[in-house]
Each structure stands twice: as C-alpha cells, then as structure tokens.
C-alpha cells in the first residue's frame, strides 16, 4: 500500500476502518493520518493505533492521497467548505456520511472531484459488515477497486447504483436492530422453556450465523432452506404456521418501508 490515507473525524466508524486496515496491512499505520475536532480524542486514537495526527483538516488533505470523510451529516457541509480549496483532481474522497449524495458533496467544489459514497453497517466492527459503494463519474476503475480493497478489510463490499443507496441503508444499516430483536425473542422463548439466558443467546445467535452462511456460501434460496427444515407434520412447521398467521413477513416488510420513508423525510 503506497497511498497515504486520511480520516477526517475520529469516531467509531473511522476507528473501525483504521483497525481493519492495520489488521490486514502490515506497517500501514505509518501512512494513516487523522484529524478530529476534539484534540484529546485525536490524541487517544493516535496513541491507540500509532498513526499520524494532523493539527487541522487542511493539513490532512495536504498530506493524503485518499481521504475518508467520517463526520456527522450536520457538519459535513462545513468540513467540505473548509477543505474544498485544497482538494486536487487526483485525490480520492470516500464519504461515510449517511444520507449525503454524490451531488450534495460535489456541489461544494468549483471543479469536479473524485468522490465515492459508502454505506457500511454496524457489523463492520467485527469484520463482517456489508458496505454499499457508489462512485461518481470521475472515479476510475482502478481507484474504485482500491477503495473496495480497503473497505474489504471490514467485511463484504458491493457496488450499487446511487438510486439504491437508501434501500441499502434500510436493509443493511437498519436491519441489525431487527435481527437483534429476533435473537432476543428466540432467546426469550428458550428461557421460557427452561434454558439459561446466556446459553439461549448463544444458541440463537450462532444459529443465525450458520443460517446466513448457508444462504451466502452455499447459495441456498431462503425459501428452500425453510422447506428443508420444515418436515411434514413436524415441529418446525408448527412454528412457521404461527409466524405466518401473525403476519411475520408482512410486518418485516412494513418495517423496511417505514425506514425508507424516514430516510426520504430526513433528506428533505
């Protein structure tokens, strides 16, 4: 890795990506630069990962080839206005800012810049995240592949059209909360039948991991997997019948639609 990589904002997502990069690329910490509004937090991260701490966002931009924007949506405009005169046509900007479009970011610059918009989910913290990626038309294939390589250090990466980014936010960004609720409910059901809670969480969570791997790695359709487990007149079909009667799938779809509506509302 011969590129110098900067992170504007030292929050959880920046730390997760930095940790993934250091875990996958020996010595890359020497080429990582960070800046943060709170000096103490920046110093803490510098000491934790042995990376370079910049005095300002402008200093970071001047030193880096790739710049991750890891700030909150309410201050992104201020940050871009601050650095816009120092970003050149060769630098690659990678946004991890929720809800901010490529057009939104591009509008801050007088000349077109190379910008990639991303949407990681919370599972990146354990290296099993799902990150949606969409580049603008200034990003070359080699640059996009480099961004994918970097982000692959924290999980799987998928390139999509920007029109699908809000959907990706719902299905990947919001759904961990729904999945966690499902695991908790499964565990509650186990506890109700006498299993200790710690074991109930373990069984429910591991079953979720295994089921997901079967769908992804063995390319088993979810419906086929359900049919495989539900033998005629068996135990599982009894539970499936209850879920269907209560509108389980319909409720999940409605929840996804609600997330989509909220995203559009927040963007307005």
Question: How far apart are the C-alpha atoms of 7 and 116, rounded to whole Å?
Answer: 14
Question: For residue 33, what is the DSSP state?
Answer: E
Q: How far is the C-alpha of 202 from the C-alpha of 105, rounded, in Å?
A: 43
pTM: 0.88
pLDDT at residue number 65: 97
State the Cα angle at 106 between 113 and 174, rounded to 5°: 115
Residue 236 has pLDDT above 90, yes or no: yes
What contacts 24+ positions apart, CB below 8 Å, involve 216-224?
Answer: none
pLDDT, residue 268, reads 67
How confident is the model over 14-30, as pLDDT tens digits?
A: 999 999 999 999 999 99
pLDDT of residue 264: 82
Give me the count of residues in the chain: 268
Question: Rounded to an integer, what distance in angstroms lies between the CA atom of residue 13 and that of residue 100?
Answer: 16
User: Taking Cα atoms as reference points, which of 203, 208, 206, 176 lies closest to residue 187?
Assistant: 203
pLDDT tens per residue, range 154-164: 999 999 999 99
Domains of the chain: 5-160 (3.40.50.720), 168-267 (1.10.3730.10)
Residue 152: C-alpha distances to residues 18, 124, 140, 147 (Å):
12, 10, 18, 8
């Amino acid at each position: 890795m011969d590129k110098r990589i900067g992170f504007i904002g030292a929050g959880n997502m920046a730390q997760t990506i930095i940790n993934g990069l250091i875990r996958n690329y020996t010595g890359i910490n020497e080429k990582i630069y960070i800046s943060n509004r709170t000096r103490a937090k920046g110093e803490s991260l510098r000491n934790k990962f042995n990376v370079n701490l910049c005095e300002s966002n402008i200093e970071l931009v001047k030193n880096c080839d790739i710049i991750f924007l890891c700030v909150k949506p309410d201050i992104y405009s201020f940050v871009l206005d601050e650095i816009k005169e120092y970003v050149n046509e060769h630098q690659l900007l990678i946004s991890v800012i929720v809800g901010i479009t490529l057009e939104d970011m591009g509008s801050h610059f007088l000349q077109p810049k190379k910008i990639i918009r991303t949407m990681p989910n919370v599972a990146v913290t354990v290296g099993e995240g799902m990150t949606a990626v969409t580049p603008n038309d200034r990003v070359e294939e080699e640059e996009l592949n480099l961004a994918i390589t970097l982000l692959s250090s924290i999980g799987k990466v998928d390139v999509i059209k920007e029109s699908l980014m809000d959907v990706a936010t719902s299905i990947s960004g919001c759904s961990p909360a729904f999945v966690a609720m499902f695991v908790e409910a499964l565990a509650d059901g186990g506890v109700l039948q006498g299993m200790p809670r710690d074991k109930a969480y373990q069984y429910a969570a591991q079953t979720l991991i295994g089921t997901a791997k079967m769908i992804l790695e063995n390319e088993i359709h979810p419906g086929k997997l359900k049919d495989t487990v539900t033998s005629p007149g068996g135990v599982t079909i009894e539970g499936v019948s209850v879920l269907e009667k209560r509108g389980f799938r319909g409720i999940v779809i409605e929840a996804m639609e609600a997330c989509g509506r909220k995203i559009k509302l927040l963007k307005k």
